[in-house]
Amino acid sequence: MNDQRIPLGKLAFGIALLLFGILGVTDFLHFFDVREIWRWWPVGLIFVGVSSEIDSLRARKSDGGYIIAAVGVWLLAANLHLFGLRVRSAMPLGIAVVGLGVILHALIDAPVPAKEEEKGK
The pLDDT of residue 92 is: 92
Domain assignment of residue 59, yes or no: yes
Domain assignment of residue 71, yes or no: yes
Backbone angles phi, psi at 2, to 5 degrees: -90, 115
In this prediction the pTM is 0.67
Q: How far apart are CA 14 and CA 29, in angstroms?
A: 22
* pLDDT by 10-residue block (mean), the chain, 121 residues: 68 82 75 73 87 81 84 91 89 90 81 62 55
41 lies in which domain range?
8-109
Domain assignment of residue 2, yes or no: no
Domain assignment of residue 115, yes or no: no
Q: How far apart are CA 88 and CA 77, in angstroms?
A: 10
Residue 68's CB is within 10 A of a number of other CB atoms, namely: 24
